[in-house]
């Protein structure tokens, strides 16, 4: 099958699977917790976004991958990882910086993912991903769903506090 067709299909299937996981497993387990604890659960996986930096590792990186794509992935993932890690620590310590950092990590992380999906399409990277295929097909959708879930929790809290 054409990788330019297969990868989006796998990503879509993974988005459905991770959405079901959040809706059927994670949300029922955390919905009665304080907002900060829910955000800890949703943001912690973002602390693993260092995986995107493997795009720069010579043993993994395919020289046919556009450097605009690989560098964008590595930089965006590193920034998101630092922001998510900061948010997790702040939320755990009940710091007032926790919620603003959660907003920042979620917004930056989501924007980075969407930007890199566009770059991946523009540069037709699917045929050249090699071992990174699994990160893109399974990890990116997980991060996407978790960022959206965190933003929903943050937005609902803001709406509930305003009423």
Q: For all residues of the chain together, what is the average pLDDT? A: 93
| C-alpha gyration radius of the chain | 16
**Residue 103 domain-assigned (yes or no):** yes
In the chain, the number of structural domains is: 1
**Residue 25 domain-assigned (yes or no):** no
**Residue 59 domain-assigned (yes or no):** no
**Residue 119 domain-assigned (yes or no):** yes
Per-residue model confidence (pLDDT) at position 5 = 92
Q: Which domain holds residue 45?
A: 3-8+35-49+64-158
Nearest to 80 by CA among 38, 56, 120, 116: 116
113, 146 in Cβ contact below 8 A?
no
**Residue 21 domain-assigned (yes or no):** no
Q: What is the pLDDT of residues 28-41, one digit of tens each?
A: 999 999 999 999 99
Q: pTM of the prediction?
A: 0.92
72, 116 in Cβ contact below 8 A?
yes
Q: What is the DSSP string of 37-71?
A: HHHHHHHGGGGGGGGGGGGG-TTT--TTS-HHHHH
Q: What is the pLDDT of residues 52-95, one digit of tens each?
A: 888 888 887 788 889 999 999 999 999 999 999 999 999 999 99
The rounded distance, in Å, linking the Cα atoms of 155 and 102 is 11
Measured torsion, CA atoms of residues 154, 98, 50, 71, in degrees rounded to the nearest 10? 70
């Amino acid at each position: 099958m054409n990788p330019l067709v297969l990868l989006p299909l796998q990503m879509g299937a993974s988005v459905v699977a991770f959405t079901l996981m959040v809706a059927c497993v994670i949300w029922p387990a955390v919905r009665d917790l304080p907002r900060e604890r829910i955000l800890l659960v949703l943001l912690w996986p973002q602390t693993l976004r260092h995986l995107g930096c493997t795009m720069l590792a010579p043993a993994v990186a395919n020289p046919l991958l556009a450097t605009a794509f690989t560098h964008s992935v590595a930089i965006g993932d590193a920034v998101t990882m630092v922001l998510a890690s900061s948010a997790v620590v702040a939320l755990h310590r009940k710091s007032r910086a926790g919620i603003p950092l959660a907003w920042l990590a979620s917004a930056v992380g989501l924007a980075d993912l969407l930007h890199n999906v566009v770059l991946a399409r523009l540069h037709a990277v699917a045929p050249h991903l090699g071992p990174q295929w699994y990160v893109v097909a399974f990890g990116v959708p997980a991060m996407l769903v978790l960022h959206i879930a965190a933003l929903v929790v943050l937005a609902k809290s803001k709406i509930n506090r305003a009423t």
